[in-house]
């Protein structure tokens, strides 16, 4: 695959939502029903040069997306970001997630004001834990039974990286 990374554009929203929706039925996602592009337009518009949303594409086909969002809406946290990454099913298990996180790492180090990146990962999501661990993130702690999905409590693991 000849993967390129670029900032997401409004025209990418349908594909971003489709990739996200592939994970809705898995025990790794907060949503319990499918989302729509209309419901994510404001979310897409919230990204900017300091907190970007990128897509990974091959031959103009969006295969994955990754976003950095403000960690917490208080000035003390202005240099911290929460990261989300979703790789479409057709591109999973091919190293794209690792390549994407390496790209994000380079962007944070060279052109973003962010100094700390935090990932929240459900305990059941072993692939994401492995991905983040293998790309320089460390396990910072667990929020026990913080979420209830399908009437079951779930632990949320915190992985982080400081630059």
Query: Is 154 within a domain?
Result: no
Cα dihedral 17, 81, 126, 37 in deg (nearest 10): -10
Query: Is 127 within a domain?
Result: no
Predicted pLDDT of residue 34: 86
Predicted pLDDT of residue 27: 59
For the entire predicted model, the pTM comes to 0.93
Query: Is 50 within a domain?
Result: yes
- CB of 19 closer than 8 Å to CB of 29: no
- For residue 58, the enclosing domain spans 3-118
Neighbours of 41 (CB within 10 A): 12
When pLDDT is cut at 50, 70 and 90, the band that residue 68 belongs to is very high
Predicted pLDDT of residue 29: 65
Nearest C-alpha neighbor of 133 from the set 103, 101, 96, 107 = 101
45 membership: H or E segment, kind and range: helix 41-45
Query: Is 87 within a domain?
Result: yes
């Amino acid at each position: 695959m000849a993967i390129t990374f670029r900032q997401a554009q409004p025209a990418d929203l349908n594909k971003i939502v489709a990739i996200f929706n592939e994970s809705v039925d898995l025990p790794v996602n907060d949503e319990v029903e499918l989302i729509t592009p209309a419901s994510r337009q404001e979310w897409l518009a919230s990204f900017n040069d300091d907190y970007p949303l990128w897509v990974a594409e091959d031959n103009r086909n969006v295969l994955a997306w990754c976003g950095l969002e403000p960690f917490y809406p208080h000035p003390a946290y202005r240099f911290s970001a929460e990261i989300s990454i979703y790789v479409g099913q057709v591109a999973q298990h091919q190293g794209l997630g690792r390549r994407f996180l390496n790209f994000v790492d380079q962007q944070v180090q060279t052109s973003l004001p962010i100094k700390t990146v935090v990932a929240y990962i459900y305990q059941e999501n072993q692939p994401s834990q492995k991905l983040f661990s293998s790309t320089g993130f460390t396990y910072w702690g667990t929020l026990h039974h913080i979420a209830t999905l399908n009437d079951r409590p779930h632990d949320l693991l915190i992985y982080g990286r400081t630059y």
